[in-house]
Amino acid sequence: MIVVGAGLVGLATAWLLQRRGHAVLLVEAPLRALPDGISVRSGSAAALGLLMAQVFQRGSGRGWRVRQRSLRLWQQWRQELAQRGQAIQWRPGLLLLAASAEEQSRHERLVHERREQGLPLELWDASRLGRLEPAVPLGALAALHSPEDGQLDPVQALAALRADGLAAGLRCLSSRVLGLREADGRGGGPYGGGTRGGRWRLLLEDGQELATDWLVLAAGLASAELLRPLGLERPLEPVLGQALELELAEPASWRGWPGVVSWKGLHLVPRPDRAGGRRLWLGATVEPGTDPGAAALAQLRKLAGDAPDWLARAELRQHWLGIRARPRDRPAPLLEQPRPGLLLACGHNRNGVLLAPVSAEWALSQVEERVDPSGWTPAS
């Protein structure tokens, strides 16, 4: 079988299928470069790696179910990978700062709802926030703390899944897919097994043609372009995100800080493992389209105008951006099988890191024709 797209969703899917005994080829397109010191990364490598599952505002339905399942799967996967020498750094805890009384009330309601579900959310008052070092924005009235959400390093996750997949026999090919077509007959091909031919054919930019019975599209925005000639309209909109790595003027103790602190939708991720404990990730903007905006970047750098002095004095060390794919007129993500043997695992918007495991598990359930443990159905 073939997986197209080597972001975290595609790589996780290829890894899981390979580790469960299926022969997989992972096809990835080379990244383009940008001038003037800004790096462009895949949506996964550009992500901050936040896992926001238990603070999800809804407490039931499809979105809630898949987030909880995926959070548990990440816990299992990290343990499994670590046992084979592929560790992924995990920073537990997520702190959502309340900038208004209305936001504080929402946090209080959410804590009450989650406690009824047996989940350990808690409220932090202003005095507790005042003990954090370095200081959070002065306007923070209180905060919602989720100890089981948190942050993992997406670049480490990509490297760990790739290395472990390769050790299990995963094959990788760097090439751009120019088109897909559905063959007349069934049967395998070089990556599908079975008889000659293959249900799906991929045309690559070097003129090579591949055949397979199972094809997983996890290629972000490119997925929609590949589907259109087949008469399958799945419009995806680009949502750009910019992020920064900053270096503090003095080393920080990060006393009391969890893995992530969020203020007005912007996220601060301490990186005490980098440069003597003085590094911090700050992100990410949410910008329609593919062109980075100077105004959005300025708002990010100033933490929406509320940057504490220690953050304002920090020096910029890296600036990068990534493009997310958001479905138009459909809920995110797209996990569906529109034609036999063709699986869509794309359009995750801002939740690609969180939902990579549950997306991979869904694809495995389709290939093996068994019930998906997450209970995923596209219309639910």
| Phi then psi dihedrals of residue 62, to 5 deg | -60, -50
Segment 110-114 shows an average pLDDT of: 96
* Segment (H or E) for 189: none
The Cα–Cα gap between 237 and 13 comes to 23
- On whether residue 119 sits in a domain, the answer given is yes
Average pLDDT (36-63) is 81
Give SS3 for 353. helix
Q: What is the pLDDT of residue 122?
A: 97
Reply yes or no on whether the pLDDT at 145 is more than 50.
yes
Domains in the chain, number: 1
In angstroms, rounded to a whole number, what is the distance separating the alpha carbons of residues 127 and 137? 13
CB contact at 8 A, 52 and 354:
yes
- State the pLDDT confidence band at 29, using cuts at 50, 70 and 90: confident
Q: Whole-angstrom distance between the N-terminal and C-terminal Cα of the chain?
A: 28
**Residue 65's pLDDT band (cuts 50, 70, 90):** very high
- What is the structure's pLDDT at 30? 75
**Closest residue by Cα to residue 246 from 296, 311, 295:** 311
Q: What 8-state DSSP symbol labels residue 133?
A: B
Runs of H (alpha helix) within the chain:
8-19, 43-46, 61-83, 101-116, 126-129, 154-167, 221-227, 294-301, 309-312, 352-367
Residue 356 lies in a domain: no
Predicted local confidence at residue 77, as pLDDT: 98
Asked whether residue 256 is domain-assigned, the answer is yes
Residue 314 counted as domain residue:
yes
Q: Whole-prediction pTM value?
A: 0.93
pLDDT of residue 296: 97
Average pLDDT score over residue span 2-31: 95
Torsion angles phi and psi, residue 123, rounded to 5: -100, 140
Condensed to tens digits (0 to 9), the pLDDT of residues 288-306 reads 999 999 999 999 999 999 9
Q: Give the model's confidence band at 188: pLDDT under 50 very low, under 70 low, under 90 confident, else very high.
A: very low
Least confident of 137-141, 168-172, 195-199, 315-319: 195-199
Percentage with pLDDT > 70 across the chain:
92
CA distances from 332 to 188, 237, 336, 351 (A): 31, 11, 11, 9
Can you read off the two tokens belonging to residue 12? Answer: 């996780």
The 10s digit of each residue's pLDDT in 295-353 is: 999 999 999 999 999 999 999 999 999 999 999 999 999 999 999 999 999 999 999 99
Query: pLDDT: is 312 or 274 the higher one?
Result: 312
Between 197 and 198, the more confident residue is 198
Helix or strand or coil: residue 234? coil
**Structural domain that includes position 293:** 46-50+91-151+238-327
Q: What share of the chain is helix, strand, coil (3-state, %, to 5)?
A: 30, 30, 40
CATH code: domain of residue 143: 3.30.9.10
Checking if the pLDDT of 97 tops 80, the result is yes
Radius of gyration of the chain (CA): 21
